[in-house]
Amino acid sequence: MTRPPVTSGRVADGPVFVVGSMRSGSTLLRLILDSHPRIAIGAETGFMGAVVGTKRIPSWKHGADWYQRIGWSEAELDERLREFYAGMFARYAAEQGKARWGEKTPFHTTLVAEMAAVFPTSVFVGIVRHPGAVAVSLGERFHYAYEEALDYWTATNLALVAGACGLDDRFVLCRYEDLVSDPEPVLREVMGTVGEDFSPALLEHHVVQQEQGAPRLADGSTSTRDPVDPGRAHRWAEQLTPAQRTALEGTAALAGFFGYPAAGSEGRSPVDSASGRAWTLTGGDLAALRDRWRGRVDFDHRPPVPALDADPEELARRLAHAESALTRVRSRRAVRLADAARGLQHGRSWSDLTAVWASLRRRRP
């Protein structure tokens, strides 16, 4: 088979980024692509958090343009960041005997545009899964409330669509259910976007991963030794309570956009592809589809969601820091006076406000 033509300035050895929500099957997809003889995609790194932090320093008024203050352009900074991180991943790929590198971290799904800008020869392989399945899995794995998990699915997949729509044929999206039920035709279309020949090794990832010496469990406790199991696609529906089925209806519009039934466990609509694909959608397909679905889906509003895979110790440190900062702020004169004034509106006396003012005057240096 000849290699598909390279388009949109993409080169055959550009990085391959896997994006998708947590519990969407992104680790399975990563293991499959990592089984290709030319592609190495290792464990999650979250490196784009460092890239974004370097480009936009948080909690500082000049954080978004700090490099311009010393005469650097954003393009120059991107080039330096690209050299640094590509060098790290390229060394990993070379150690695996592979020509191309890639990466997969779930929160990178919200950073597709940034990744595409820093790595202009990159390609993206997205994966989506039924919201009911993702919510059940998030509840089992991370103990999240069902409604909260559905909000996460909605916000993350809206971000995925937004990032994909600007990438045309640098982006390809597959559904988890299609991947596990008909892996070969799905992967043949995926590899057309990636720019590599289809390899039978992609269908034997559980064998290849063991031969490569991969640990038995990957990120998300995904087994590297288990073959693709189509039965996992719909098992989640047996666990739903009536309340959860009602909550699931809230995702019906966006689920329908991806071809899923409103709240059912079975069946998927054929992909709505202007590019002629039978199993996957390109970024261009998603852009056209988004235009047609704007009356049914609010693509501009994403529900707020918590950090689902954060380090508990780090969260505790952040909470302690925030509480300390809040204590300092509330001790300031203007804040204390404002609190006292609000107290007047809720029945406190003028003597209370006078007492606060007297206390502040005594503390004035």
Q: pLDDT digit string (tens) for 188-231?
A: 999 999 999 999 999 999 999 999 988 888 887 888 888 888 88
What is the reported pLDDT for 42?
Answer: 96
Q: Which of 54-63, 104-113, 299-308 has the lowest mean pLDDT?
A: 299-308
**pLDDT tens, 42-62?**
999 999 999 999 999 988 999
pLDDT at position 10 over 60: no
What does the DSSP 8-state code read for residue 269?
Answer: P
What is the reported pLDDT for 332?
Answer: 64
What average pLDDT does this structure show over 92-115? 97
Of all residues in the chain, the percent with pLDDT exceeding 70 is 82
Q: Are 111 and 52 in contact (CB under 8 A)?
A: yes
**pLDDT tens, 150-179?**
999 999 999 999 999 999 999 999 999 999
From start to end of 20-109, where are the E strands? 39-41, 100-104
Q: How is residue 278 written in tokens?
A: 């039978």
Q: How confident is the model at residue 9 (pLDDT cuts 50, 70, 90)?
A: very low
3-state SS assignment for residue 18: strand
302 phi, psi to nearest 5 deg: -115, 125
What average pLDDT does this structure show over 265-269? 71
Q: How is residue 298 written in tokens?
A: 């609010």
3-state SS assignment for residue 8: coil
Other Cβ atoms less than 10 A from the Cβ of 45: the count is: 16
pLDDT at position 27 over 90: yes
| Average per-residue pLDDT for the chain | 87
Q: How far apart are CA 112 and CA 90, in angstroms?
A: 20
Q: Give the domain ranges of the chain.
A: 16-309, 315-363
Q: How far apart are CA 235 and CA 122, in angstroms?
A: 35
Q: How confident is the model at residue 347 (pLDDT cuts 50, 70, 90)?
A: low
CATH domain 16-309 topology: Rossmann fold (3.40.50)
Residue appearing with tokens 């947590």: 22
Q: By C-alpha distance, which of 18, 23, 45, 49 is closest to 34?
A: 18
